[in-house]
A and B are shown apart, each in its own frame.
Chain A
């Protein structure tokens, strides 16, 4: 008995050594072999005024992952189905959830909480709209250990006022998008006196502010500002507050979403058929899928951009078109092929641009988001992104991109309304050369005031 046990012992010792060695190598090997997943969430609007762009938003973000991390889409005709695969330095990318908001900050916050706290996302890409982004940026400020990059929101306050150190936005805000419009109004159309009509909420004010700041800096005068509230159906009283067409040079429209059509109709009912040389709009005049509703009467008027143009040829644009064609066949609910509805659509492009910035930062830190993501956030602040038009977007000290934008013109394309890009503006800072600053009031009903000043960028003709 004792002998057999002793005999067994002689095998036990080497066995134990082998086991211990394996255990030792296994525990040291873990961090390098199987990387911890990076959990991403995307937040956009699937209800409300911008629900039509849900697929484009999510598709834009996923496209960046497909291009740069080796991810694969689950369904080429439905971005909402998500993506799989994709790694950064051995860390797998996990899309844990896609949030659905409705253009209101309330739902955006509850979706953000669901994505970040219930589903445990590390990083959020989104949201879509201005007021949502202000609320999300404030949430970000209260949760410094997670990182947030913008979707396509264009409110100025998000980066200039809230200034969360972990919220990054490479795309321009609504004011930056309208750079160039004031210049066109003053120099090309010869306007000196202008009426501005804008939605009475933050995006309307911000967008109009971009026009007003530039136009007034050049020496123009904004004689009237009218603010129809957001849910107006009968715009007749608001257009009645405008000067009649023979008493002013032009009108700038920053009325969007569901009001663009109604307000223009109300204008014609009050003052007769529009003379398109007297009207200019912000990006709502030119958003793909919606501007055709305006009808041919508006052909000839200029429209502010959203920082992207599908008809300005460049190598970068060709590359982006090919990428889009390869990644997506359609971006529902928008109808048509993805190359037509996505390329040049600021919703699609901005989500792509911000996701690209995120991925570049993640790659630079080799996918290491430990330590409260501090290394990642430090890297992101200095990350640059080349947008689909070939322009390099840098972040300023508020983690806000210094943008490029385009001014477009509507024209009669054989019976339907078409749009073409005429002017390009690069190097537009969020401050507009000092007009906007953290210690100054954000755009509002009377802000900015109409004062002469410097325009720190150049507007050039395209092509």
Chain B
């Protein structure tokens, strides 16, 4: 048995390293615009990947927090993103133009404005999540499948309600503040990069740090970490576990709202966006491991890197296969570490 096990593990790591090495060689030497001859494009793609991963992290960290502590696969996480996005668009328009139907351009948005909208959307998302948890998930703790089905039902209803009340699938968006939506000179070979994307990276780093400090340095954070490890023991120790759950769900849902504001300023939102962000959160958590903040960070980065580099460096006319690479990444992770890179069995 031990021989077979280590053989399989070595094979798994071997395959992973080989895949990574091949990918590196391809990007640097063999692609249409290889990195050694066009380092600017490579650097730009790398930054794109990291900033995209940063956005994934913001949303997925909320998902993994809830999943890790309460074993709730919150299939309505994408729905929270969706609702928060539409609320944020409405609030930004009302603040700046007074009219919820007039679009807003970056030049009209100040940094304060944008953060106010962020706060409002985050609170809305947090409250919705909290209400959902208190009404539907509080009394059936431990029944994982049932809770997943409940959140699925809620996501179906919310998605339909959004379709009905936002007048169809037309995409709508928000704007970043004008001050950051410019090019920033990075002082490296005269390379300029989008300030907005760097802003996203900065926000994500700040949020990651804040979450880390909260989990590591505060009492509530300590209880949450203990709860991720051993829920029953924490309850047996007399901690008000219900209060901790409520706080964690609130924070997790808030993160979906924060991600929604960033994502909608970056691109747009429409009726299918909830499904897309649910998938993104799932992929990050499967790769990184449930309940682990570090896992969410690593998972987001890997997902961002794979998605961005495959779209950029596959031969022209074959970029349609980029989605297969995401699956390959998932397959490798599942084969080598079935519970995710930083995950542990329940």
Contacts and interface: CB of A to CB of B under 8 A. Distances in A.
Direct contact of A and B (CB under 8 A): yes
Interface of A: 47-54, 103, 200, 227, 229, 231, 233-238, 240-241, 257-262, 265-266, 269-270, 272, 289-290, 292-297, 332-335, 416, 445-446
A272 B182 CA distance: 7
Contacts of A237: 45, 48, 308, 311-312, 319
A292 B103 contact: yes
A240 B170 contact: no
Contacts of A270: 44, 194
A227 B169 contact: no
B197 interface: yes
Contacts of B272: 231, 258
- Going nearest first, the 3 A-B pairs with the smallest beta carbon separation are A52-B168, A51-B168, A237-B311
B105 A296 contact: yes
A27 B308 CA distance: 75
A48 B171 contact: no
B105 A269 contact: no
A200 B311 CA distance: 14
A235 B317 CA distance: 16
Contacts of A54: 168
A293 B172 contact: yes
Contacts of A266: 267
A233 B323 CA distance: 13
A180 B26 CA distance: 42
Interface string B142-181: 0000000000000000000001000111111100000000
B305 to A, nearest CB: 12
Interface in B258-306: 263, 266-268, 270-273, 276
A343 to B, nearest CB: 19
B133 interface: no
Given A258-B270, A269-B197, A297-B105, A52 B307 contact: no
Interface in B174-231: 183, 194, 196-197
B169 A52 contact: yes
A240 B267 contact: no
B323 to A, nearest CB: 8
Contacts of A52: 167-170
27 contacts: A47-B163, A51-B167, A51-B168, A51-B169, A53-B168, A54-B168, A229-B320, A234-B48, A236-B52, A236-B308, A237-B319, A238-B319, A241-B316, A257-B270, A258-B171, A258-B268, A258-B270, A260-B171, A261-B268, A262-B173, A262-B268, A265-B266, A270-B194, A292-B103, A295-B105, A335-B167, A446-B317
Contacts of B25: none
Given A269-B197, A445-B317, A293 B168 contact: no
A50 B168 contact: yes
A334 B167 contact: yes
B202 to A, nearest CB: 15
Contacts of B323: 229
B267 A233 contact: yes
Interface residues of B, number: 40
B267 A272 contact: no
Given A266-B267, A270-B194, A289-B170, 6 more contacts: A103-B169, A229-B320, A234-B48, A237-B311, A262-B267, A293-B173
B320 A227 contact: yes
B171 A293 contact: yes
A50 B204 CA distance: 34
B45 A240 contact: yes
B308 A234 contact: yes
Contacts of A269: 194, 196-197
Q: Which of A200, A233, A238, A289 has the most CB of B within 10 A?
A: A233
B92 to A, nearest CB: 13
Nearest to B263: A233
A290 B101 CA distance: 11
A50 B276 contact: no
Contacts of A241: 312, 316, 319
Nearest to B97: A415
B102 interface: yes
Nearest to B311: A237
Nearest to A54: B168
Given A234-B267, A236-B52, A227 B319 contact: yes
Given A52-B168, A236-B48, A261 B102 contact: no
Contacts of B111: none
A323 to B, nearest CB: 25
B183 A272 contact: yes
B103 A295 contact: yes
B41 interface: yes
Contact of B103 (A231, A293, A446): A293
B276 A231 contact: yes
| Max count, chain A CB within 10 A of own CB: residue among B163, B167, B322 | B167
B32 to A, nearest CB: 9
Nearest to A235: B267
A75 B167 CA distance: 19
A257 B172 CA distance: 11
A265 B176 CA distance: 11
A296 to B, nearest CB: 6
A183 to B, nearest CB: 28
Contacts of B320: 200, 227, 229
A187 to B, nearest CB: 30
Contacts of A265: 173, 266-268
Contacts of B317: 445-446
Interface string B4-45: 000000000000000000000000000000000000010011
A354 B173 CA distance: 34
B169 A261 contact: no
Given A241-B316, A295-B103, A335-B101, A49 B169 contact: yes
A227 to B, nearest CB: 7
A240 B312 contact: yes
A261 B319 contact: no
Contacts of A294: 103
Contacts of A229: 319-320, 322-323
A86 B198 CA distance: 62
A268 to B, nearest CB: 8
Nearest to B197: A269
A225 B200 CA distance: 30
A234 B194 CA distance: 14
B169 A48 contact: yes
B281 to A, nearest CB: 14
Contacts of B44: 240, 270
A416 B108 CA distance: 13
A58 B168 CA distance: 15
Nearest to B195: A269
A262 B171 contact: yes
Interface string B94-121: 0000000111010000000000000000
A90 B170 CA distance: 42
Among the interface residues B103, B272, B273, B276, which one has the most CB atoms of the partner chain A within 10 A? B103
A235 B169 CA distance: 19
B271 A48 contact: yes
A65 B301 CA distance: 58
Interface in B57-78: none
